[in-house]
Structure 1
Amino acid sequence: MPNDVASEKRQILEKMGATVELVKPCSIVDPNNFVRVAERRAQEYELFEGEAKDGSGESITRKGFFMDQFENPSNFAAHYKNTGPEIFKQMKGKPKLDAIVHGSGTGGTISGLSLYLKPRIPGLKMYLADPPGSGLANKVNHNVMFSETEREGTRRRHQVDTIIEGVGLNRLTSNFSLLFQNSSFDISSSSKTELEYEQDQAGNDLGLDEQDFKYIDGAFSVSDQQAVHMARFVMDNDGLFLGSSSALNLVAVVQLARKLGKGCTILTILCDSGQRHLTKFWNDEWLAQSGLDTSTPSDLSFF
């Protein structure tokens, strides 16, 4: 994993028995990027059969597996088959869902929710919440992958653009690309959910044509300061101890609510706890050294 993430994320893995290798943050095209290193480590442990080194003659079998969560379509499929239907089922009989807001790390959650729910909820909008240093918001809003930190004269070799962990990229993953019309993912009948089978058996014609929908409608760029303020505001007012990705989502929710107007219903996912962000995002001294204010806003006008 990158060596700049909150240390408790590493410590949790080690307590579970993992050996954690820390690497410098760098571009995905760099062979020392954490994804590329993980891929190499898996290849090094691919199926190996032979005699034990102790000379006992016993066969040894080892196998490494590279999860490839950014590009693996199982990521998207998990949310298309499970999270989306769960939301759809729970929203029945409630006010119409107007919009969903979510950040993108691998892109699996936002793409899975959009491709499942948009054909089933008329008029539903999907918006991206994006942190500093990420080019995804510009890709969604202007169809150009660009971040201000990539501007000529500002780029650094190992720059750290944001304190918000787990979301934001300067490349399109296979999972996130499904949100664009030129994607070629085939949602076949084999991916039908239990809920869809129930509807089919009831004689209802789903009549879904996924190609008729725009799967991503816009993006909001959220600053580090806004995320810090939101986490403190929600802790003080709602008793929710959230991580940086959840705070990012909520800032974008407030911005979208102003755009849609009074009475709108917006869904997001509080996807991380503050317990994994104690050494950075919830460390007031560290944040102050980074020039960030850790006071609690008095109301939502701060956002």
Structure 2
Amino acid sequence: MKPTYLTEKSINAFIAAALAEDVGDGDHSSLAAIPADAQNQARLLVKGDGVLAGVELAGYIFKAVDPNLQLDVLMHDGDRMKYGDVAFTVRGKAQSILTAERLVLNCMQRMSGIATYTNYMASLIAGTGAKLLDTRKTTPNFRIMEKWAVLIGGGQNHRFGLYDMIMLKDNHVDYAGGVREAITATQKYLQEKGKDLRIEVETRNLQEVQEALETGGIHRIMLDNMSTDTMREAVAMIGGKYEVEASGGITEETIRAVAECGVDFISVGALTHSNRSIDLSLKAF
């Protein structure tokens, strides 16, 4: 089952905006150099190792550019890929293939990089019971695709945006006057507005964890930038009453030790903001 943000409408809205940005009033290079009736084919060549992502999206892009383009899918989202693999072939009007080429590649290269890194980070905590989450540290107007890539790579999505979950972070807590004040004000707001949203509160030390526990009425406690010793103590204090998420500067070198503290979730902003795209190429043949 796909997440609620991933709909045909949202995907096509993204594609329409991206094509408007790139194509403008026409792909004049292709219109000028290629006969309008020319029919050709191209294949998607893999030029790096990792986890493939964006194949389904590519289908939407080709269809948006030209419904008559024919896509022959040879590899699927989530497949392991290696240098030299061919993910798919596309055939039809040559001008249409060329117009769609860069948007397909830009999306698939970035999505495959995210899926690959997510898969690697998830493998580092395998068997611990902790689940890997993304964050809102995404590229503006590309969040749908980045979070989709995290799913393809074996991670899980945190909230999609500001509207679908309450997260009381350090600045919220400080502006509200403390953990208790932030939580109670949020509960009042939700009741007044008739909204049913999950509440997560970020804590920076054991005193704030205790304050969150005493206030109650929440769903998850985030342990932010804590040492593993402090996290283990916090997990023991919480005692399964609420979900526990670890966050803040977690790296490849530290993620396993964090998971072994007993947290339920680990959020890693680097899944979407600091990974390397994987080189792909669309070549005529």
For CA contacts below 8 A with separation 6 or more, give which structure has more relative contact order: 2
Where is the strand percentage greater, Structure 1 or Structure 2?
Answer: 2
TM-score with structure 1 setting the length? 0.27
TM-score with structure 2 setting the length? 0.28
Where is the helix percentage greater, Structure 1 or Structure 2?
Answer: 2
